[in-house]
């Protein structure tokens, strides 16, 4: 497919991998909602609300990766995949690897920020 082409720092996964990231995002969101419900229904101490951070981080990473068509782990490892699961190829150009690492770190920081903001909102909700 013409839309499935490796572009350094911009696109390193194809449709199958994107779908996988969407599933991860949805799973993280569902787990965050279950965790939030459990914390609220169990009348837990307010500090227990921080437990939603990790599943929210998983959801944020999956969602941002799927939107950007870029895998954080592949970017850090200097790899990409547009074929079947597990058909990972190496990025040989050092400039491209650096661009990929920069994008991967950006995705990580964006995900941490998103999960932190949502966690803080949940923490300070007066419920």
Domain annotation covers residue 32: yes
Domain annotation covers residue 62: yes
Q: Which backbone phi and psi does 61 adopt, to 5 degrees? A: -60, -45
Full-model pTM: 0.92
Domain annotation covers residue 116: yes
Model confidence band, residue 1 (pLDDT cutoffs 50, 70, 90) = very low
Q: Which residues pair with 79 in a beta bridge?
A: 90
Q: Based on the structure, what is the number of domains in the chain?
A: 1
- List pLDDT tens digits, range 13-62: 999 999 999 999 999 999 999 999 999 999 899 999 999 999 999 999 99
The CA dihedral of 48, 122, 33, 106, to the nearest 10 degrees, is -100
- List pLDDT tens digits, range 81-112: 998 888 899 999 999 999 999 999 999 999 99
> Two tokens at 25?
């995002």
Give the chain's radius of gyration (CA, Å).
17
Domain hosting residue 86, numbered range: 15-124
């Amino acid at each position: 497919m013409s839309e499935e082409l490796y572009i350094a720092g911009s696109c390193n996964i194809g449709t199958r991998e994107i779908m996988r990231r969407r599933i991860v995002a949805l799973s993280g969101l569902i787990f965050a909602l279950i965790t939030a419900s459990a914390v609220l229904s169990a009348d837990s101490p307010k500090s227990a609300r921080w437990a939603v951070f990790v599943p929210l981080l998983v959801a944020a990473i999956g969602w941002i990766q799927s939107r950007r068509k870029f895998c954080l782990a592949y970017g850090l490892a200097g790899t990409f995949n547009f074929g079947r699961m597990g058909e990972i190829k190496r990025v040989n150009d050092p400039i491209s690897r650096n661009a990929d690492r920069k994008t991967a770190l950006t995705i990580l920081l964006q995900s941490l920020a998103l999960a932190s903001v949502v966690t803080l909102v949940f923490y300070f909700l007066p419920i």
